[in-house]
Structure 1
């Protein structure tokens, strides 16, 4: 590879209007630029969340009361939780996100209670109650 023997060409000056004018003094105490404010277009408030919690609690009570023993109660609760999660997903996409949060929280709690009771029965009796 051949070495370059000449010097680099000089840089051309920038086009007119590219650099700021030098005759203006710098502003005193300018500070940082104002920060943008981002606001949620549809904020989640407490009312819809509580209504989603209440509706899902009623949903789980109704479905849980269909079972006559622990196994059927657990299966009805699992089915109710799957339907509630699907409803929460639809509400989060095209509905009220506050209600979706309430539905998701209540369904998670309801399913946790059912699985806790099932696990406690399994541990105490050494018999899996869902089969």
Structure 2
């Protein structure tokens, strides 16, 4: 025992020397800042955007009286919906924009399938 240090009292426990962390496991707060999304995408937002886009495409699709007008109304409605989605991505809720974009792509796919089936069954391109 080193004579420069007094002997510990009876029953006293010497404190362990603190170890320097190796860095393998985090020992404290992170050294880099954590960035958070200002408008996080949520399931409720995606569902709301999807529901709104479904209603929007349905209303425009009902304006069509035949396959050609249905397809063109769906294209116009989809373009308008995507413009709204772009504005929402930049200034609003990205979850709603995601729902709008997903449902619009699905609506365009349905319109393309209807046009393709009509074209295959009649042999005449229905959009002109």
Alignment of 1:119 onto 2:116: yes
| Conserved? CA contact 2:61–2:70, under 8 Å | yes
Alignment of 1:40 onto 2:32: no
Q: How many Å apart are 1:28 and its aligned residue? A: 4.4
Question: 1:75-98, CA deviations, whole angstroms, 9 ceiling, x for partnerless residues?
Answer: 000000110010100110011111
CA, structure 1 residues 35+121, in 2 after alignment: closer, same or farther (shift >3 Å)?
farther
Aligned-residue CA RMSD (Å): 1.7
TM-score normalised to the size of structure 1? 0.73
1:56 corresponds to: 53
Q: How many Å apart are 1:126 and its aligned residue? A: 1.2
1:130 corresponds to: 127
Question: 1:46-93, CA deviations, whole angstroms, 9 ceiling, x for partnerless residues?
Answer: 111111100110001100000010000000000001100101001100
Distance in structure 2 (CA, Å) of the matches to 1:92 and 1:125 = 41
Alignment of 1:30 onto 2:22: yes
TM-score normalised to the size of structure 2? 0.75
Number of residues of Structure 1 aligned to a counterpart in Structure 2:
105
